């Protein structure tokens, strides 16, 4: 059970972090290790599901930086298993295998996101941060105080709390609730949406490849997941398509999802061979590329998906969250130190704030180049709208007008970052 802050009100902090996912927990860990008073705010008391996540070999060292040796003595983070490579059907209909054996670690990881997020929050509390669960961000206002810049209002089912802070960090994921309250615009670069279905089987599944398969209307992702309490093998299957396309409306229902899945070349045969059966309902979540117009400002900063969120094809979800949070934590600590010494304030002119902003803008440009390269490498359906939008980014606005926006089915439940 995590330690939580209960009954706190009118409390003062160096930094308040809104959102306690991987990015929020990582920045709390970083700042707490510098003895900063950090409040980590999580709006949910508990989460009932998260999409599983695959980590490439290059990310393992970063994860262990925060969580320690995942298989070391006393380590209770067990909801993961090693993956051996990627199997993709992308440029052609033949499977291409990328083996992790030849990487520095020799393996990747598939993690249970609920367990991973809890482990990160536990590390934040152990480092000295205060965790407040079940508290929703309501509003913030600037205050004229020599010591503190913000007055933050949080609400729960039972009370309203007011906190003062020198600095605010938005780690609320794609919702970017803090940035939106401050009037910062979010720019969406595409309409990608993810439709996820979990499967389970009574037999064995020793497949440890992360599978990606292109289709005329989008692309599929599948991975085996860490076992639950009943130890039955589980597999996650996700369709990525644009929310305004006919395939999106089909994928929102069980029958439509199954019809599309049956057309897949590799994933459907694997499910049938292992006698997998659907479990639970289909879940939906925005998966497109988006960013804030401003990543930071006077005494505030956005980190992780709140700052910029990537297409899952990039495989940079947790990796980006942890790397940018570590950088942001250090920049905020240095900025606060300079401010206390009277060197400079915490506004946009602070050199550390500017450094973070410059890094974020460069990361976005690098990401766009990489994303366009990946999608451009798939040549098989040049007449399909999903691929035309991505293989000719300059004409995306024109192509978007070809289909009226109908949104997604109202019975699809959104995943939160």
Closest residue by Cα to residue 79 from 229, 279, 238: 229
Instruction: Pick 185 or 1 by higher pLDDT.
Output: 185
330 domain residue, yes or no: yes
- The count of domains in the chain is 2
Indicate the pLDDT class of residue 406, thresholds 50, 70 and 90.
very low
Tens-place pLDDT, residues 223-235: 998 865 567 888 9
Q: Coil, helix or strand for 261?
A: helix
Residue-range definition of the domain harbouring residue 90:
81-110+191-286
Pair 35, 183 in one domain? yes
Pair 182, 195 in one domain? no
Return the CATH number at 220: 3.30.9.100
Whether residue 314 has pLDDT greater than 80: yes
Pair 102, 120 in one domain? no
The pLDDT of 121-127, averaged and rounded, is 97
Return the CATH number at 333: 3.50.50.60
Closest residue by Cα to residue 408 from 192, 176, 177, 175: 192
Report the distance separating Cα 112 and Cα 217, nearest Å: 28
Last residue of a domain, one of 267, 286, 305: 286
Tens-place pLDDT, residues 131-176: 999 999 999 999 876 677 999 999 988 889 999 999 999 999 999 9
Indicate the pLDDT class of residue 3, thresholds 50, 70 and 90.
very low
pTM: 0.89
Pair 201, 334 in one domain? no
384 domain residue, yes or no: no
Q: Which residues pair with 86 in a beta bridge?
A: 98, 210
Report the distance separating Cα 234 and Cα 153, nearest Å: 41
Cβ atoms 13, 39 nearer than 8 A? yes
388 domain residue, yes or no: no
């Amino acid at each position: 059970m995590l330690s939580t802050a209960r009954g706190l009100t009118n409390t003062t902090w160096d930094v308040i972090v809104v959102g306690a996912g991987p990015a929020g927990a990582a920045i709390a860990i970083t700042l707490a290790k510098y003895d900063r008073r950090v409040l980590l705010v999580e709006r949910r008391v508990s989460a009932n599901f998260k999409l599983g996540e695959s980590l490439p070999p290059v990310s393992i060292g970063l994860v262990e930086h925060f969580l320690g040796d995942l298989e070391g003595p006393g380590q209770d983070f067990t909801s993961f298993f090693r993956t051996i490579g990627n199997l993709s059907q992308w440029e052609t209909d033949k499977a291409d295998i990328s083996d992790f054996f030849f990487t520095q670690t020799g393996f990747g990881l598939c993690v249970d996101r609920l367990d991973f997020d809890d482990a990160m929050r536990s590390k934040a509390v152990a480092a000295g941060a205060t965790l407040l669960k079940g508290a929703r961000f309501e509003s913030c206002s600037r205050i004229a105080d020599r010591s503190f810049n913000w007055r933050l209002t949080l609400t729960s089912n039972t009370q309203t709390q007011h906190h003062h802070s020198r600095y605010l960090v938005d780690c609320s994921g794609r919702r970017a609730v803090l940035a939106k309250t401050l009037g910062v615009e979010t720019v969406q670069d595409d309409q990608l949406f993810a439709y996820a279905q979990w499967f389970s089987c009574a037999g064995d599944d020793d497949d440890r490849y992360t599978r990606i398969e292109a289709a005329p209307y989008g692309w599929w992702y599948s991975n085996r997941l860490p076992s639950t309490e009943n130890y039955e093998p589980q597999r996650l299957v996700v369709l990525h398509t644009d929310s305004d396309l006919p395939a999106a409306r089909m994928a929102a229902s069980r029958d439509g999802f199954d019809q599309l899945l049956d057309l897949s070349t590799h994933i459907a045969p694997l499910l049938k061979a292992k006698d997998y059966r659907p479990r639970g309902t289909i879940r939906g979540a925005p998966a497109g590329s988006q960013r804030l117009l401003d990543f930071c400002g006077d005494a505030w900063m956005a980190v992780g998906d709140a700052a910029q969120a990537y297409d899952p094809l990039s495989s940079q979800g947790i990796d980006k969250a942890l790397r940018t949070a570590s950088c942001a934590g250090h920049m905020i600590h240095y900025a606060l130190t300079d401010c206390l010494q009277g060197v400079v304030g915490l506004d946009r002119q602070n050199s550390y704030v500017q450094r973070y902003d410059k890094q974020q803008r460069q990361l976005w440009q690098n990401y766009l180049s990489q994303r366009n390269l990946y999608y451009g490498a798939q040549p098989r359906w040049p007449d399909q709208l999903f691929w035309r939008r991505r293989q000719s980014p300059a004409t995306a606005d024109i192509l978007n007008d070809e289909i009226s926006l109908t949104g997604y089915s109202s019975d699809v439940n959104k995943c939160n970052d």
